[in-house]
Amino acid sequence: MLIPVILSGGAGSRLWPISREGHPKPFMKLADGESLLLKTYRRAAAVAGSAGEILTVTNRDYYFMSKDELALAKLPQRGSFLLEPMGRNTAPAVLLAAHHVATRFGRDALMLVLPADHLIDQQARFAEAVTAASALARTGKLVTFGIVPSAPETGFGYIESGAELVGGRQVRRFVEKPDLDTARGYLDAGNFYWNSGMFCFSAGSILDEMAKHAPDVAAAAEVCWKSIGAPDGSMLEIAAESFAAVPDISIDYAVMERSSEVAVVPADMGWSDIGSWAAMRELTRPDDSDNRALSGDAIFVDSSNVYVHGDGRVVAAVGVQNLMIVDSPDALLVVHPDKAQDVKKVVAQLKKTDHDAYKLHRTVTRPWGTYTVLEEGPQFKIKRIEVKPGASLSLQMHHHRSEHWIVVSGMAKVVNGDREIFVSTNESTYIPAGHKHRLENPGVLDLVLIEVQSGAYLGEDDIVRFQDIYGRA
């Protein structure tokens, strides 16, 4: 039994403006329209037995979005979610996942821990590595996956390997991100690997080794686990109070760097952590002038080595070299490839001034679908609202705004005051301020509706929720 445990967290602030706090890196879509999380689900499912389940550990804010990605993947395995009330690093997440796996499948069940925001190009090699890692994990080893380095990278931690084992090697030590000279030495030495952050071990082994090397973390995590209400459900919510008591520490630091039971499976499988726009650029094919465009209308005049991540607008580069241009509906980034790491400084600056653009996209995801603010003016706001088939907004009321709804695609069921009506494509309805109302998509196609709000105050916080099928009332 091999249970994939997907760790889906991390803001990915170096991938701003596409990755944002409210829509972080795992949900970032690549050129094929698939998110990193969806690709991770597929990759994991392909190596796991279909009898088991796939466990996602993520922040509770990302539950509905994650569930949508899982549904898109159409997997044979059951999906479970362990929802964190706050970010707490990898050791607490892995420990709670281990308790869950041990409870549900026994201490011998193997866990395959995978970050949700990496890319692996060669699935067959990944599968081979997982097979080797599983064999080692069954002997009680805590197995890491070491990526065969292709360059003296200074942005990754390294694993130094020692004596050979069946299917892998012993780990001599973990080393922090090196400087360039040291990284070159590692590359030459031949027994150093990039630490990928992927692991394989049995639930029992990781619980035992954690208890041995980080007893305080293990004890706090156990208390936290016991406080989870319904361990049989597919959605396990972690209580904030007991979770906050678990030390904020990485699995590497808590146990991997201390245990003598750690092994590494070297693998060369087209791995990328998509750590920055420079890594995203590598996924596209350059033209004759080494220019690359992910999408959109890019025009290059007398320019070279320019990467354009477009968003439908025309992007023209004239007489420029060595640039990455990342366009999004409400924010634009122009960055030198060598400074790709510094994009996080922009996010920090936006956060300091509490600017929406560090957190939200123009399109905001909700459990029932999405809304996109098309325009805001004095006393009016226009939104495109998309409601998934079968989904329903809460029964709600606004004190300060009226709403005009025009259905442009699909069919809406609308509660408007005392009436319940159906509004089809090219029909409209009007919700006066103070009226209780609810919007629902009773159909099998997406419902697309234009909402024109009118009123003296149009903040999102002018909402009274009476009923909500997503528990937000």
Closest C-alpha to 6, from 70, 76, 60:
70
Q: Give the contacts of 356 (CB within 8 A, at least 6 positions apart).
A: none
The upper half-sphere exposure of residue 470, i.e. CA atoms within 13 Å in the direction of its Cβ, equals: 19
CA distances from 248 to 88, 214, 307 (A): 5, 12, 37
- What CA–CA distance (Å, rounded) separates 279 from 312? 22
Measure the CA–CA gap between 220 and 370, rounded to whole angstroms: 38
Task: Indicate whether 355 belongs to the interface with a second copy (CB under 8 A).
Answer: yes
Among 150, 234, 349, 467, binds a second copy (CB under 8 A): 349
> Rule CB under 8 A: is residue 388 a binding residue for a second copy?
no
Side chain identity at residue 371, one-letter code = Y
Q: What angle do CA 240, 244, 246 make, to 5 degrees?
A: 125
We find the least distance from the C-beta atom of residue 435 to a second copy, in angstroms, to be 14
**Residue 229 in the binding site for a second copy (CB under 8 A):** no
Which of 314, 421, 445, 464 contacts a second copy by CB under 8 A?
A: 314
Tell me how far, at minimum, the Cβ of 381 lies from a second copy, in Å. Answer: 9
Q: How many residues does the chain have?
A: 473
In the complex, least distance from residue 62 CB atom to a second copy, rounded to whole angstroms: 24
Among the listed residues 300, 283, 282, 267, the one whose alpha carbon sits nearest the alpha carbon of residue 144: 267
Work out the burial of residue 101: count CB atoms within 10 Å of its CB; fewer than 13 is exposed, 13-18 middle, 19 or more buried: buried
Q: Does 182 bind a second copy (CB under 8 A)?
A: no
With binding defined as CB under 8 A, does residue 287 bind a second copy?
no
CB neighbour list of residue 123: distance below 8 Å, 6 or more residues apart:
43, 46
The interface mask with a second copy, positions 319-338, x = CB under 8 A, is: xx--x-x-x-xxxxxxxx-x
Minimum distance, C-beta of residue 345 to a second copy, in the bound complex (Å): 5
Phi, psi of 158 (to 5 degrees): -120, 155
Integer angstrom CA distances of residue 427 from 385, 401, 408, 423: 15, 21, 8, 6
Of 121, 430, 434, 473, the residue at the interface with a second copy (CB under 8 A) is 430
* Beta carbon nearer to a second copy, 355 or 472: 355
The nearest distance, CB 382 to a second copy, in angstroms, is 6
Does position 421 bind a second copy by CB under 8 A? no
Buried b (16+ CB within 10 A) or exposed e, 341-360: eebbebbeebeeeeeebbbb
Q: Of 51, 235, 299, 463, which lies in the binding site for a second copy, with binding defined by CB under 8 A?
A: 299
Distance separating alpha carbons of residues 294 and 283, to the nearest angstrom: 9
354 contributes a contact to a second copy by CB under 8 A: no
Q: How far is the CB of 389 from a second copy (least distance, A)?
A: 17
Out of 177, 226, 339, 465, which residue is the one contacting a second copy (CB under 8 A)? 339
For residues 53 and 327, which CB has a smaller minimum distance to a second copy in the complex? 327
Which phi and psi (to 5°) does residue 408 adopt? Answer: -110, -10
Minimum CB separation from a second copy for residue 430, in Å?
Answer: 7
- Whether residue 328 contacts residue 311, with contact meaning beta carbons closer than 8 Å, is answered with yes
User: Cβ 356 to a second copy, closest distance in Å?
Assistant: 9
Helix residue spans in 313-392 (DSSP H): 343-352
Closest approach of a second copy to the CB of residue 306, in Å:
8
How many residues bind a second copy (CB under 8 A)? The answer is 57
Is residue 379 at the binding interface for a second copy, with CB under 8 A as the rule? yes
Taking CB under 8 A as the rule, does residue 377 contact a second copy? yes
**444 touching a second copy, by CB under 8 A:** no
Binder of a second copy out of 46, 187, 283, 450 (CB under 8 A): 450
Q: For a second copy, give the closer residue by CB, 44 or 278.
A: 278
Does 288 engage in binding with a second copy (CB under 8 A)?
no
Stretch that binds a second copy, among 125-133, 162-170, 197-205, 406-414 (CB under 8 A): 406-414
- Residue 383, CA distances (Å) to 143, 325, 343, 451, 465 in order: 49, 27, 30, 5, 19
Residue ranges that bind a second copy, judged by CB under 8 A: 16-17, 297, 299, 301-302, 313-320, 323, 325, 327, 329-336, 338-339, 342-343, 345-346, 349-350, 355, 357, 374-375, 377-380, 382, 384, 402, 404, 406, 408-409, 425-426, 428, 430, 448, 450, 452, 454-455
